[in-house]
Each structure stands twice: as structure tokens, then as C-alpha cells.
Amino acid sequence: MRNCVYRRRIKIRKRMNLYIPAFFFTFIFIGYAKAQPRENDFGIWLNANLEKDIGDKWSAGINTELRTMDNTRSIDRWQAGVNGSYKICQTLRLNAGYEIHLKNRNVDGISEIVPRHRMMLGLSKRWNVVEWLKLSIRERYQYTYMTAKSNIDATSNHHLRCRLKAEMEINNVRWKPFASIETFNNIAKHFNIDEIRGSTGSTYKISRHHIVYIAYIINLKEANNGLNKASHVVNSGYILKF
């Protein structure tokens, strides 16, 4: 009986290793196809992250990211950042971070690179729904300061970012699919939602220390008195844990 159950589990794992990447690559291809109309934009986000556990409760990391826009014809921004987290209990974490962005901003019809600073403080909670499905919720306060450039004054904004994320995890299956929805609430404008971001994709664990991931993102931003500016994004990255 045990041998039969064991063989069945092995068979399911092998199928998952084939079906999961096929499903998500198909989803990304559909998203790319829908990104072609001119009223939408398409970009690629490339990430690299370095993460380190410090004892049982603390962790720290550094990250860098490159984003493209205008159907990948131009650079949207480059960023570098540091972050850290503290495990309050088994399912609750406090996290904080700082990022510097080199943002491509249009000033009087001319594209200029403008430095932007961002600080974040958040709390995340996760729990198991069933053995193979995990849910997490994250509340993050975000402060962004854009420096002055040419004849444009410096600007700043405060947001509360609320994210709900689902992850599927099966023992001995290297692919871990996920899906999330996140809202950006502008605190200065009475918590008006000026951005919504949906994402679906999967991580792949190459080894204990090396992880890669790929995802499709639909990003809706405020424009013309509504969330009318859509960006379709292919997001991929590499994580080194040590």
C-alpha cells in the first residue's frame, strides 16, 4: 500500500514539474500578445537579489532592478536598494528597506534622468490554508522623494501598499507558482487608490542557494481621472541565498 502511494506521489510530482512551467509560460505569452495595442505599454523588469539570514530571526539583503518602458524602447528606471526583516513569530515579520532610483522623467518634452529616494516599512503575515497552499498579506508604508530637476520642483508622496499573495508549494517540486494583487493607496489624497498591480508567475529552485523566477504583471496607474494607464510587464529575476 505504501509503495503504491509513494509511486503515485512521484508521478504527481513529475507531472507538476511539466505542467506548472507550461501553464505560466503560456500565461505570459498571452499577456505579451495583449500588450501590443498602442493604448497599452509593455516593459521588462530584470532583478538580482542577494539575501542572508542572520541568526534565527534577522535577515538582510541587497537588490538591483532595471525597468524598461515604451514597448522596451527606453529605460524607465534603474534602482539599487537594501532591506532587512525581523521575525516577530513564526508567521509574522517586520521588514524595512531603502531604494535609490534613477528615474527617466519627461521634462518639457525632454527625457531626463532624475534621482528618486524611497523608504519602506511593512508588516507581513502568512498562514497555511491547506498543506500545499500558503496565503500572505502585507501592509507596507512607502515614502518617495523625487529631487528637483530643470524647472520642475521636488515632489514627495506617501502610500500604503496592501498586497494579498497566494503561493503553491509541494514537497520536492522545484516550481512554486504564485499570484498576487496589490493596491497603492495615496495617503495624502484620503487613501485614494492610484495604482493596482496584479501578478502571476513561479519561482524555480535550482539549488539550496540559487533561485530564479519569472512572472507576468499587469499594472494599472491613474491617468485621465481613472486607472486608465495599463502596463504589461514580463518580470524575471535571480536570488542568491547564503
Looking at residue 185, its pLDDT comes to 95
Local confidence band at 15 (pLDDT 50, 70, 90 cut-offs): low
Q: Whole-number mean pLDDT of the chain?
A: 86
**In the predicted structure, residue 111 carries a pLDDT above the cut 70:** yes
Task: Express as a percent the part of the chain with pLDDT over 70.
Answer: 83
Local confidence band at 76 (pLDDT 50, 70, 90 cut-offs): very high
Q: Which three cell numbers mark 106?
A: 519627461
Looking at residue 128, its pLDDT comes to 86
List beta partners, residue 14: none
Local confidence band at 131 (pLDDT 50, 70, 90 cut-offs): confident
**In the predicted structure, residue 25 carries a pLDDT above the cut 60:** no
User: Which pTM does this prediction carry?
Assistant: 0.83
Looking at residue 36, its pLDDT comes to 41
Q: Which of 48-52, 73-77, 146-150 has the lowest mean pLDDT?
A: 146-150
CA pair distance 73, 75, nearest whole angstrom: 7
Does 1.20.1250.20 match the CATH number of domain 2-241? no
- How does DSSP classify residue 48? E
- For residue 36, what are the CA distances in angstroms to 25, 60, 103, 154, 217? 18, 39, 24, 34, 15
Q: Which of 31-35, 203-207, 212-216 has the lowest mean pLDDT?
A: 31-35
**In the predicted structure, residue 110 carries a pLDDT above the cut 70:** yes
Strand, helix or coil at 18? helix
Which of 12, 41, 49 lies closest to 203, judged by CA? 49
Q: What is the pLDDT of residues 150-195, one digit of tens each?
A: 777 899 999 999 999 999 888 888 999 999 999 999 999 999 999 9
Q: Which residue has the cell 497552499?
A: 133
CA pair distance 49, 34, nearest whole angstrom: 29
Looking at residue 70, its pLDDT comes to 87
Q: Which residue has the cell 539583503?
A: 61
**In the predicted structure, residue 198 carries a pLDDT above the cut 70:** yes
Looking at residue 32, its pLDDT comes to 47
Give residue limits of the domains in the chain: 2-241
Looking at residue 117, its pLDDT comes to 97
Sequence-ordered list of residues with C-beta below 8 angstroms from that of 94, at least 6 positions apart, any chain:
85, 86, 88, 122, 123
Largest distance between two CA atoms of the chain = 76
Q: Which of 56-60, 81-85, 174-178, 222-226 has the lowest mean pLDDT?
A: 222-226
Higher pLDDT, 67 or 25: 67
- For residue 239, what are the CA distances in angstroms to 82, 95, 118, 203? 14, 18, 22, 10
